[in-house]
């Protein structure tokens, strides 16, 4: 199949044969206060996370991404004092015990979260990637919908950047450095596995 480059603007180009369509494969959420900010490393003007470090005893929590709750997005807001990004994420929390209900209630009480989103490009490239939303200022809950008829009894949760607390960057690429190569998805996946909460 022949390839070609189609110029968009400036130095940016796209492959004419590439038709990306990104879908959410899985999600995790974490307590924003559980992140060790001094040890966490960001590069490329804070658009890439190369080391996400949690405080001792903290975990990331698996959530579900499905047709009803798979949307994750950021949007640029132009304000009086500069530009910034707001993040919104929707995910489903399955009931695995009392801990899930407790964490949602903590959100209602004012806690903040960030989310890790695993996406798969269903176009020709088939690219797998991880992104983090809410790492700079965290997101607060704006919806908790539990309905046995509509969503099978799972809690559909929506979190969003708090008003007037926009972040300086959009979604962040989460790509840990590999042992040999500069970056490697395997290192990111190993980190997720090691830090994922597993119900007793």
Q: Beta strand pairing status for 113-121 and 128-133?
A: antiparallel
pLDDT at 19: 55
pLDDT at 171: 93
The residues, any chain, with a CB within 8 Å of residue 101's CB and separated by 6 or more, are 95
Share of the chain above pLDDT 70, in %: 78
Question: 3-33: b or e for each residue (b if 16 or more CB lie within 10 Å)?
Answer: eeeeeeeeeeeeeeeeeeeeebebbbbbbbe
Taking only the tens place, the pLDDT of each residue in 110-129 is 999 999 999 887 555 667 88
Q: Beta strand pairing status for 41-43 and 22-31?
A: unpaired
Taking only the tens place, the pLDDT of each residue in 166-199 is 999 999 999 988 765 556 788 999 999 999 998 7
**By three-state DSSP, how is residue 86 classified?**
strand
Q: What distance in Å separates the CA atoms of residue 196 and residue 132, rounded to the nearest whole number?
A: 15
Asked if residue 169 lies in contact with residue 45, where contact means CB atoms within 8 angstroms, the answer is yes
pTM: 0.83
Sign of the torsion angle spanned by Cα atoms 193, 162, 24, 181: negative
């Amino acid at each position: 199949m022949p390839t070609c480059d189609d110029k968009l603007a400036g130095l940016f180009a796209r492959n004419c044969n590439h038709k990306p369509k990104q879908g959410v494969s899985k999600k995790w959420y974490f307590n924003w206060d559980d992140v060790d900010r001094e040890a966490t490393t960001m590069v490329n003007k804070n658009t890439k996370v190369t080391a996400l470090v949690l405080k001792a005893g903290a975990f990331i929590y698996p959530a579900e991404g499905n047709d009803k709750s798979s949307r994750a997005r950021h949007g640029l807001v132009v304000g009086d004092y500069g530009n910034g990004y707001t993040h919104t994420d929707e995910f489903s929390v399955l009931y695995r015990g009392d801990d899930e209900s407790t964490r949602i209630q903590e959100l209602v009480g004012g806690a903040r979260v960030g989310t890790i989103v695993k996406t798969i490009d269903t176009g020709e490239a088939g690219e797998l990637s991880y992104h983090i939303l809410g790492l700079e200022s965290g997101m607060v809950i704006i919806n908790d919908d539990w309905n046995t008829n509509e969503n099978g009894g799972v809690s559909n949760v929506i979190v969003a950047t708090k008003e007037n607390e926009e972040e300086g960057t959009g979604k962040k690429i989460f790509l840990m450095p590999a042992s040999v190569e500069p970056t490697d998805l395997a290192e990111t996946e190993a980190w997720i596995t090691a830090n994922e909460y597993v119900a007793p």
